[in-house]
């Protein structure tokens, strides 16, 4: 037979036999009869996993094209202390999946030869600072106006960092979201709320009524914040009409001495809005490159100062009256 024509040797590492469901004894795997039995008999996978656990194994790595055995092994264990890691997953980039597996093993305490992994890349270890970490937090916190919600006022709290409360409108099915804003970008020496934030506020309001797509949004008066204090903000979503809802963003000074100003208005819809053009080829066919080097310096000379967070323009093209851009 084929099995008899092969040569056998003792394994260098302990091997769990799928025939017996236990760690193989010396000489057990080196006979043709064993491998004939291995083909004919049932695989005792669950017993093998239990044998590994009994031997003190706390990490199992699946080396194969999928993560099928990882899922099977998890059902064979009564506890969750064993780390089960596949090195490949269907539909995922192989290098990313393998690196994720290495990261999980490393974080669990398994030794990883990182010198071999980074060989040839020029990467090197660096010394940590010799002084103690200050442990100072730099997370942004919502203002008191956005988080203090009175239950007696009949308001529903919002988990949005800028919009603190939601009010449902029973007569129309719309909603009003309210809050106090303090986001900065300097335009002509004034503190201006970026247009991207207005888009985000409109989308947040749409989610409250099941409309997750913004079909259209026209920007009107810039939302300028005062040097001291803040502004009250309202985002209003109107009733449903033919699958669309109106949305508008308003503000007024905190002391309520001014009338409400409209900063943006548009329409919300359910589902996904078609782009109106295809991006099968990028840059688009027939589009000419528009230089963007030094664009933000030009903006600053015209009175529009953007900090690093807002400098996302990477490339631009023009085709007739159409303008295409890459923003990251």
**CATH number for position 93:** 3.40.366.10
Q: What percent of the chain has pLDDT over 70?
A: 89
Range of weakest confidence among 26-40, 83-97, 234-248: 83-97
Instruction: Note whether 245 and 316 are same-domain residues.
Output: no
Tell the residue number behind the tokens 């040097």, with chain if given.
Answer: 227
The pLDDT value recorded for residue 153 is 60
**Local structure of 82: helix, strand or coil:** coil
pLDDT the model gives residue 149: 55
Predicted pLDDT of residue 238: 95
Residue range 210-217: mean pLDDT, rounded: 91
**Measured between alpha carbons, how far is residue 44 from residues 50, 57, 81 in Å?**
10, 18, 22
Report the CATH number at residue 168.
3.10.129.110
pLDDT(141) > 60: no
Q: Are 211 and 255 found together in one domain?
A: yes
Q: How many domains does the chain have?
A: 3
Does 44 fall in a domain? yes
Considering the domain architecture, whether residues 10 and 106 belong to the same structural domain is answered as: yes
Give the global pTM.
0.47
Per the domain annotation, does 134 fall within a domain? no
- Angle of helix 68-75 versus helix 45-54 axis, rounded to 10: 70
**139 located within any domain:** no
Question: According to the model, what pLDDT value does residue 202 have?
Answer: 95
Residue 276 in this model has a pLDDT that exceeds 70: no
Same domain, 264 and 293: no
What pLDDT is recorded for position 136?
76
Residue 234 belongs to a domain: yes
Q: Please determine, for residue 204, whether its predicted confidence score (pLDDT) is greater than 90.
A: yes
Region 296-322 average pLDDT: 85
In a domain, 7, yes or no: yes
Model confidence at 70: pLDDT above 70? yes
Average pLDDT, the chain: 85
Residue 223: phi, psi to the nearest 5?
-90, 100
- Mean pLDDT for 283-288 is 89
Number of Cβ within a 10 Å radius of residue 199: 16
Q: Residue 46 burial by CB count (10 A; 0-12/13-18/19+): exposed, middle or buried? A: middle
Out of 29-38, 171-180, 253-262, pick the least confident.
Answer: 253-262
Boundaries of domain holding 104: 3-117
Q: Are 95 and 192 in a shared domain?
A: no
263-271 average pLDDT score: 92
pLDDT grade for 186, boundaries at 50, 70 and 90 = very low
How far apart are alpha carbons 278 and 285 in whole angstroms?
11
Whether the per-residue pLDDT at 284 is higher than 90: the answer is no
Compute, in degrees rounded to 10, the torsion defined by CA atoms 255, 256, 261, 265. 100
**pLDDT digits 0-9 by tens, 76-107:** 887 778 999 999 988 788 999 999 999 999 99
Confidence at residue 37, expressed as pLDDT on a 0 to 100 scale: 93
N- to C-terminal Cα separation, the chain: 63
Overall average pLDDT of the 183-211 stretch: 78
């Amino acid at each position: 037979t084929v099995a008899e024509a092969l040569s056998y040797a003792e394994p260098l590492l302990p091997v769990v036999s799928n025939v017996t469901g236990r760690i193989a004894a010396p000489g057990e795997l080196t006979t043709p009869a064993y491998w004939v039995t291995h083909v004919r008999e049932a695989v005792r996978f669950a017993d093998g996993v239990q044998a590994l656990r009994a031997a003190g194994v706390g990490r199992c790595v699946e080396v194969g094209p999928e993560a099928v055995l990882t899922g099977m092994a998890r059902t064979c264990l009564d506890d969750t202390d064993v780390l089960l890691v596949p090195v490949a997953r269907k539909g995922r980039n192989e290098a990313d999946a393998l690196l994720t597996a290495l990261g999980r093993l490393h974080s669990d305490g398994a030794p990883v030869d990182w010198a071999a992994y980074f060989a040839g890349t020029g990467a090197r270890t660096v010394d940590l600072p010799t002084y103690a970490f200050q442990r100072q937090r730099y997370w942004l916190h919502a203002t008191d106006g956005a988080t203090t919600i009175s239950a007696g006022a009949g308001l529903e709290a919002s988990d949005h960092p800028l919009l603190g409360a939601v009010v449902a409108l029973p007569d129309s099915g719309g909603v009003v979201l309210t809050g106090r804003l303090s986001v900065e970008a300097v335009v002509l020496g004034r503190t201006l709320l970026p247009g991207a934030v207005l888009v985000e506020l409109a989308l947040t309001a749409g989610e409250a009524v099941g409309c997750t797509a913004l079909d259209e949004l026209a920007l009107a008066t810039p939302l300028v914040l005062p040097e001291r204090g803040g502004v009250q903000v309202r985002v209003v979503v109107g009733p449903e009409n033919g699958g669309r809802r109106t949305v508008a963003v308003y503000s007024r000074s905190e002391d309520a001495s001014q009338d409400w100003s409209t900063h943006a208005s548009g329409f919300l819809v359910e589902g996904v809005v078609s782009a109106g053009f295809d991006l099968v080829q990028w840059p688009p066919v027939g589009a000419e490159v528009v230089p963007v080097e030094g664009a933000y310096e030009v903006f600053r000379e015209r009175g529009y100062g953007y900090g690093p967070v807002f400098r996302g323009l990477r490339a631009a093209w023009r085709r007739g009256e159409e303008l295409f851009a890459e923003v990251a």
